[in-house]
Structure 1
Amino acid sequence: MNATAIVLAAGEGTRMKSNHAKVSHQILGKPMIRWVVDATIAAGCERVVVVVGSHADEVRAILADAYADSPVSVETVEQTERLGTGHAVRVALEATGISDGPVVVLNGDLPLIQADTVRLFAETVATGELAATVLTMTPPDPFGYGRIQLDADGAVERIIEQKDCTPEQDAELLECNAGCYAFDGALLAAHIGEVTNDNAQAEYYLPDMLEILKRHGHAVSIFHCEDYRDGLGVNSRVQLAELTAIARDRINERLMTEGVTFIDPAQAWIGPDATIGRDTVVWPQTHLIGTCSVGESCQLGPNTRLTNTRAGNGCVIDETIAVDAVLENDVECGPRAYLRPGTHMLDGSKAGTHVEIKKSTIGEGSKVPHLSYIGDTTMGAGVNVGAGSITCNYDGKNKHATVIGDRTFIGSDTMMVAPVRIGSDAITGAGGTITKDVPDGALALERTDQRVLEGYTERRRARL
């Protein structure tokens, strides 16, 4: 389908009361504008043009970061003067030269619109029978939406704004305008210049295109959206929270149909780009943000947040924060573990209570059970790290590496001052500060002699 999507994202969003672009606000960890653009790409649109204006640089940065490697062209056009939706579309057409094929115009604050809806919407104008269609919906409460009045043939007669509805129209006209339009691209390009700003706001309104096309003898109709939630927009923080809850419920319902168990679906926030395998159990207060992937038969949570993290099968991830980390199969984390970027935990490894790991590989079956920090470390298989052990990887200027061989036992409260290499089958004594390499199979001790002063307590009391 040779369709183009024009996404309108230039508005101020004043009701958000924010220092940021409205479309930059996130739903389940993903900016609203990306929800819309992703839907257009998944729908098969071959070109996506985002019209930016307010906070243009911020929106451009979001898009550049997300779509730098996209096979679909995602480009931006700036509407320097915000003179209405009709003006925004004209600016996009003039800047890009779009003049054929279906053109779908969507709002950037429409994060719940689904790819199938966009695809079917674009197809309504693909055959040449219709010049334009309006995306419509029937929400439970239509108050506040423009109403669609159809003629006897089912074509759009007019759109009546809420403020202009009579009590009878308010009760009878339930088909609401979602504010999105599909056009025959050639006809749109030919007639967009006929939209005027002869109105109280002196703005160019895109809905005027419907009457213009009809005046030229072209057919205009509606495309009814079966799920009204696709047409819901965000204009306030309240609506942002409401749509976040809807997005959460949609995702969790889909995952449950695929074999995932949720202890309480209302208390799990799974992002749209996350995947979870069957027989995994999601406990309350679990968050998956970004491109997370979790395998089968895992336990997630409670109180766990994963960001851009991959976990294999059979993992237990309890009260854990993991960012840009990789967990292979049967890994155990938490409670209260922190896995920072670059952490790679191999099969059967463990990061236990109050453990922080950063930019390190934890070998197969190796364990860091409690109260430890491991940074810039390569750890072999079968290693046990005693409580309170730390890799001292930072000298105040540079980071240095620690290497620990297979089956080595790190005694409790061992300070490993990097750069240092501890061989395989080695042992470090509890309370040691290891500053030199330890050969394979060796015991490394670093302690002062213990002194015992008998009767000290009694003598001290006598002096007080």
Structure 2
Amino acid sequence: MAHRPLACVILAAGKGTRMKSDLPKVLHRVAGRPMVGHVLAAVKALDPDHVVVVVGPGMDSVAAAVAPYPTAVQQEQRGTADAVRAAFGLLEGFTGDVVVLYGDTPLVTPDTLRAMVAARRQANDPAVVVLGMRPDDPGAYGRLILNARGGLEKIVEHLDASAEERAVTLCNAGLMAFDGARMFDLIGRVGNSNAKNEFYLTDVVQIARVSGMACAVVEAAPAEVVGVNSRAELSEVERLMQRRLRKAAMDNGATLCDPDSTLFSHDTRLGRDVVVGAHVVFGPGVVVEDGVEIKPFCHLEQTRVERGAVIGPFARLRPGAAIGPDAHIGNFVEIKNATVEAGAKVNHLSYIGDARVGSKANIGAGTITCNYDGFGKYHTDIGAGAFIGSNSALVAPVAIGDGAIVGAGSVVTAAVEGDALAVSRATQKSYAGWAKRFRERKRAEKAAKA
């Protein structure tokens, strides 16, 4: 079969005034990614020939976020058909199929978009395919009215619907697929004779039917087509996305001890037999290999954890953390831009930043790498099998050799040779009876003031 070109037009010009935000609506994040980024990811899976994002005037931040895809500007907010018209200049002469989506509908899946394209290419050659849904409460949604052959006859807005039409449960979800050869004329014929003087994309169905063209419907789950116009709706979409990501993780062999308290990013990758405790947060860019245990109340971002490692509880892995196989990162430990090699242990109350911890090294409680002097960041290198005593400060740049031992409470400012002992602290002194005399003196002073 010859390749039929495909274009996608994403409408992202809405101001989102109900969001009450300086950030354009479509740039608000769901699972760590801007909403329009989710839509672009779904579109990309179809390998389209053209993608155009329609933005409003001055939306340079949206144009930057969707690059390298081109943008067209809808100069005035005059309705959805007018928004699609803004993309015409970048689609001039295009005669393939065109899918129109919305940048604030981030849950739509590639499978649904493929189904719309497949329906557009059916033998009856519909000029327009509309995505429908059957919500639990049809409420004020427009109804999709089918004819006796199962084709789409018209879209009726709730306010204009008869009692019989309002009883229809199939509702308009907004997304559409067009035959590009007919789309330009159909949308060009949309008028604005309505209360808002806007050009509504839904009018194309009636225009097509009056002209004798077929129209069709593809149904999607209501959860796929939830749009965002407010912070409350944003939180609902986040909830639905998290449910989807949790299910995918468990379907792929991970155990979530308390799924509802685990938060994923859109790109989190968990291997088989990973066990995730309650209240774990995965920021963007996390890869966890097979057999890792992540105990409760951990936060991971831009991190890779290799097979068999144990993380937490209450650990924080910041960008650039690379945890080797069978390593242990314990409670209240923070790792940033550092590699912890195979079998190494950082078990308690430590900060390791801009560093390498060699294989099977042991970092005692309270140890920190002093990597910043107010002007620059510096590296600490801890060799394989080294033992760093509790409450030590390693002042970078500094290197601790393989097998070396640093005595507890030391401040290390110079290199330590392999297998050497480094101790840097004041000599301990004891004064017999001093504590007893101190207490007696203080009691006497207090009694004298009574």
Query: What's the CA shift for 1:269?
Result: 2.8
1:277 is matched with which residue? 271
Q: Given the superposition, is the C-alpha separation of residues 462 and 86 from structure 1 closer, same or farther in structure 2, using an over 3 Å criterion? A: closer
Structure 2 gaps, min length 5: 446-450
1:442 is matched with which residue? 420
- Counterpart-to-counterpart distance in 2, 1:18 and 1:190: 37
Alignment of 1:122-271 (within 5 A): 122-126=117-121, 129-171=125-167, 173-219=168-214, 221-271=215-265
Q: Secondary structure at the match of 1:403?
A: strand
Q: Given the superposition, is the C-alpha separation of residues 234 and 146 from structure 1 closer, same or farther in structure 2, using an over 3 Å criterion? A: same
Identity of aligned residues (%): 40
Alignment of 1:393-408 (within 5 A): 393-408=371-386
Contact 1:20–1:55 (8 Å) recurs in 2: no
Bigger shift: 132-141 or 235-244?
235-244
Query: What's the CA shift for 1:55?
Result: 6.5
Contact 1:44–1:119 (8 Å) recurs in 2: no
TM-score, normalization by structure 2: 0.90
- Counterpart-to-counterpart distance in 2, 1:280 and 1:363: 19
Q: Given the superposition, is the C-alpha separation of residues 91 and 356 from structure 1 closer, same or farther in structure 2, using an over 3 Å criterion? A: same
Aligned: 1:80 with 2:75: yes
Contact 1:21–1:55 (8 Å) recurs in 2: no
1:106 aligned partner, one-letter code: L
Q: Given the superposition, is the C-alpha separation of residues 283 and 217 from structure 1 closer, same or farther in structure 2, using an over 3 Å criterion? A: same
- Counterpart-to-counterpart distance in 2, 1:57 and 1:178: 28
Q: Secondary structure at the match of 1:103?
A: strand
Q: Given the superposition, is the C-alpha separation of residues 356 and 83 from structure 1 closer, same or farther in structure 2, using an over 3 Å criterion? A: same
Contact 1:102–1:123 (8 Å) recurs in 2: no
- Counterpart-to-counterpart distance in 1, 2:38 and 2:306: 29
Q: Secondary structure at the match of 2:87?
A: helix
2:95 is matched with which residue? 100
Q: Given the superposition, is the C-alpha separation of residues 148 and 276 from structure 1 closer, same or farther in structure 2, using an over 3 Å criterion? A: same
Q: Given the superposition, is the C-alpha separation of residues 216 and 198 from structure 1 closer, same or farther in structure 2, using an over 3 Å criterion? A: same
Q: Deviations over 1:420-458 (max 9, x none)?
A: 222222222222222222222222222322222212234
1:388 is matched with which residue? 366
- Aligned residue among 105, 109, 117 for 2:104: 109
2:441 is matched with which residue? 462
2:287 is matched with which residue? 293
Aligned: 1:62 with 2:65: yes
TM-score, normalization by structure 1: 0.87
- Counterpart-to-counterpart distance in 2, 1:239 and 1:77: 27
Q: Given the superposition, is the C-alpha separation of residues 412 and 277 from structure 1 closer, same or farther in structure 2, using an over 3 Å criterion? A: closer
Q: Secondary structure at the match of 1:110?
A: coil
Bigger shift: 424-433 or 4-13?
424-433
2:182 aligned partner, one-letter code: L
Contact 2:289–2:306 (8 Å) recurs in 1: no
1:5 is matched with which residue? 8
Structure 1 residue ranges, 4+ long, deviating more than 4 angstroms after superposition: none
2:420 aligned partner, one-letter code: A
1:121 is matched with which residue? 116
Alignment of 1:346-385 (within 5 A): 346-385=324-363
Contact 2:387–2:406 (8 Å) recurs in 1: yes
Q: Deviations over 1:14-57 (max 9, x none)?
A: 33333322222222222221222211221332322111117722
Q: Given the superposition, is the C-alpha separation of residues 284 and 451 from structure 1 closer, same or farther in structure 2, using an over 3 Å criterion? A: closer
User: Cα RMSD over matched residues?
Assistant: 2.3
- Counterpart-to-counterpart distance in 2, 1:351 and 1:261: 20
- Counterpart-to-counterpart distance in 2, 1:47 and 1:191: 20
Contact 2:385–2:404 (8 Å) recurs in 1: yes
Contact 1:21–1:54 (8 Å) recurs in 2: no
Q: Given the superposition, is the C-alpha separation of residues 387 and 269 from structure 1 closer, same or farther in structure 2, using an over 3 Å criterion? A: closer
Q: Secondary structure at the match of 2:121?
A: coil
2:448 is matched with which residue? none
Query: What's the CA shift for 1:226?
Result: 4.4
Query: What's the CA shift for 1:4?
Result: 0.8
Query: What's the CA shift for 1:200?
Result: 2.1
Contact 1:93–1:99 (8 Å) recurs in 2: no
1:24 is matched with which residue? 27
Q: Deviations over 1:307-335 (max 9, x none)?
A: xxxxxxxxxxxxx2222122222222222
Query: What's the CA shift for 1:251?
Result: 3.1
Query: What's the CA shift for 1:414?
Result: 2.0
Q: Deviations over 1:256-287 (max 9, x none)?
A: 33333333333333334333233333333233
- Counterpart-to-counterpart distance in 1, 2:387 and 2:379: 18
Q: Deviations over 1:162-211 (max 9, x none)?
A: 1122333212x222111121111011123432222222212112122223
Contact 2:81–2:201 (8 Å) recurs in 1: yes
- Aligned residue among 32, 35, 40 for 1:37: 40
- Counterpart-to-counterpart distance in 2, 1:127 and 1:253: 33
Contact 2:314–2:333 (8 Å) recurs in 1: yes
Question: Aligned pair count?
Answer: 438
- Counterpart-to-counterpart distance in 2, 1:435 and 1:263: 44
Q: Given the superposition, is the C-alpha separation of residues 150 and 424 from structure 1 closer, same or farther in structure 2, using an over 3 Å criterion? A: closer
Query: What's the CA shift for 1:299?
Result: 2.8
Q: Given the superposition, is the C-alpha separation of residues 16 and 182 from structure 1 closer, same or farther in structure 2, using an over 3 Å criterion? A: same
- Counterpart-to-counterpart distance in 2, 1:328 and 1:257: 20
Q: Secondary structure at the match of 1:416?
A: strand
